[in-house]
Structure 1
Amino acid sequence: MRLPNLSRASALVAAALFVAPAVRADDTSEFLNPDNWEGRADIWKIDARAKSVTGETKEDPKYNTFLCSKAKYGDFELTCKVRLVNAVGNSGFQVRSERFDKEGDKQSFRVRGPQVDIGKGYFGGLYGEGVGGYLLKPKKDAAKPAEVNDYKIVVKGNHVTVTLNGEVTVDEEFPDNKGKNPAPKDGIIAFQAHAGPPMKVEFTDIKFTKLK
């Protein structure tokens, strides 16, 4: 009987034992399920199949209002493309945030907490919506205000990394803001429609992954 080539056998064993890094689950379908969201129906539309969210104000809402997730999220990665139509208006992604409006309020779906900003002069920064202004200004101006912008947001532990059009604009620990930590262990995610002139913001190619 011919003995197997030991070096070849060893290589095969090594190959069998080698386990490639597991591909992370894609949680986009669950994330974009319309049942997971609440907001003003006259402003927001979700297309789960197209993996898109659109916000449009026909007139000034007089306050910042949001499309809010019902679920809370801790560590996650979110990527998408964003376009402010005609570069008008201001928007953003709330992370680890909370609603603070009360039932029956005329100004509904108000949110406070850290916001990854979208708007001329503010793209890619971390803003403290309702908690005291800027937390982290963008390190680089990588925005294309009148065009489509690629966003990647990674929130892990107490760290946030924002990449805008391939450039890292924030890569820091969540800061303490006036004695109040703006980033608890988890919270809602929300999309913003800003007070002011009528505006339209389009979020497309959304991909969401929970990190464990």
Structure 2
Amino acid sequence: MRLSRLCTATSVLALAALTAPPVARADDTEAFLRPENWEGRADLWKIDAKGRTVVGETKEDPKYNTFFCSKKKYGDFELTCKIQLRDGVGNSGIQIRSVLKDEKKFVVNGPQVDVGAGYFGALYGEGVGGYLLKPKKDVAKLKEFNDYHVVAKGTHVTVKLNGEVTVDAEFPDNGGKNPAPAEGIIAFQIHAGYPKMHVEFKDIKFTDLSKK
């Protein structure tokens, strides 16, 4: 009788384990957005870690592309956010697996998920030869805040813009000249050439897939 009860209890626990909903994977947004993890021109960038927001704003043309850069390097990751170019003015982007080339001007080289008229959702080569991957199709339905979803896993990169896949391919290597980077910094861009521009990245969510 005792054995029967034990077997029944064991069966109930096993069934509960099989039917229980999967545990949600914790994201790494808090650690990712800690202010001490970021560097850039203090006169141009602000970070609100609690609000999960990064804002870049210029009052005059900086004359060069400058970035707000993570100090930590990342390999595989998933990043989502909403991005606004206020009044549609300017050009921006999210650098992935990139390299900081100038520690005073915060100039960055590497793949960039592009943000700007005519370039939304593309993968651009910032300082490494121009376009790597153009969007799979034109994106017609843009919003004030556009939803970006970026996944870099191994040598593959996927970009979604407002739910539409714009890039889903292997990192191009330009004929071996620029091999797919295994890891690098993530950075947000302010583009040269505009007297004034305001870009906002909000509702940022980040998951470091390299450690999962």
TM-score by shorter chain over 0.5: yes
Distance in 1 (CA, whole Å) between partners of 2:17 and 2:51 is 39
In the alignment, structure 1 residue 131 sits paired with structure 2 residue 132: no
Aligned equivalent of 1:15: 15
Q: Which residue of 2 aligns with 1:122?
A: 119
Query: Does 2:163 correspond to 1:162?
Result: no
Cα 1:90–1:54, aligned 2, differ >3 Å: closer, same or farther?
Answer: same
1:205 and 2:203 matched = yes
Q: Is the 8 A contact 1:140 1:167 kept in 2?
A: no
Partner residue in 2 for 1:79: 80
CA distance in 2 between counterparts of 1:64 and 1:132 reads 15
User: Which of the two has greater helix per residue?
Assistant: 2
How far apart are 1:57 and its partner, in Å? 1.0
Q: What secondary structure is seen at the aligned counterpart in 1 of 2:12?
A: helix
Q: 1:146 to 1:63 in 2, by over 3 A?
A: farther
Q: 1:193 aligns with which of 170, 190, 203?
A: 190
Q: 1:111 to 1:96 in 2, by over 3 A?
A: same
Identity of aligned residues (%): 69
Q: Paired residue for 1:149?
A: 146
Between 1:151-160 and 1:177-186, the stretch displaced more is: 177-186
Deviation at 1:16, TM superposition (A): 3.5
Q: Pairwise mapping of residues 105-116 of structure 1 onto structure 2 (< 5 A)? A: 108-116=105-113
Which residue of the partner structure matches residue 35 of structure 1? 36
Q: Report the TM-score, using the length of structure 1 for normalisation.
A: 0.89
Moved more, 94-103 or 10-19: 10-19
Q: Aligned equivalents of 1:143 and 1:45: distance in 2? A: 30
Map of 1:68 onto structure 2: 69
Which whole-Å CA distance do the structure 2 matches of 1:182 and 1:94 have between them?
16
1:100 aligns with 2:101: yes
State the partner residue of 2:178: 181
Residue 52 of structure 1 is matched in structure 2 by 53
Looking at structure 1, the residues matched to 175 and 64 of structure 2 have their Cα atoms a distance apart, in angstroms, of 24
Farther off after superposition, 133-142 or 114-123? 133-142
Deviation at 1:185, TM superposition (A): 1.2
Alignment deviations for residues 136-193 of structure 1 (CA, whole Å, 9 cap, x no partner): 1011233655611000101111111111101011111101124233532110000000
Q: Is the contact made by 1:120 and 1:145 (CA closer than 8 Å) also made in structure 2? A: no
SS state at 2:102 partner = coil
Aligned-residue offset at 1:14:
3.9
Q: Secondary structure at the match of 2:60?
A: coil
Residues 113 and 183, structure 1, Cα contact 8 Å, conserved in 2: no
Instruction: Please identify, of 74-83 and 143-152, the stretch whose mean Cα deviation from structure 2 is larger.
Output: 143-152
Q: How many residues align?
A: 206
TM-score (norm: length of structure 2): 0.89
Residue identity matched to 1:12: V
C-alpha displacement of 1:23? 2.2
Distance across 1 between alignment mates of 2:94 and 2:103: 21
Which residue identity does 1:141 align to in structure 2? D
Long gaps (5+) in structure 2? none
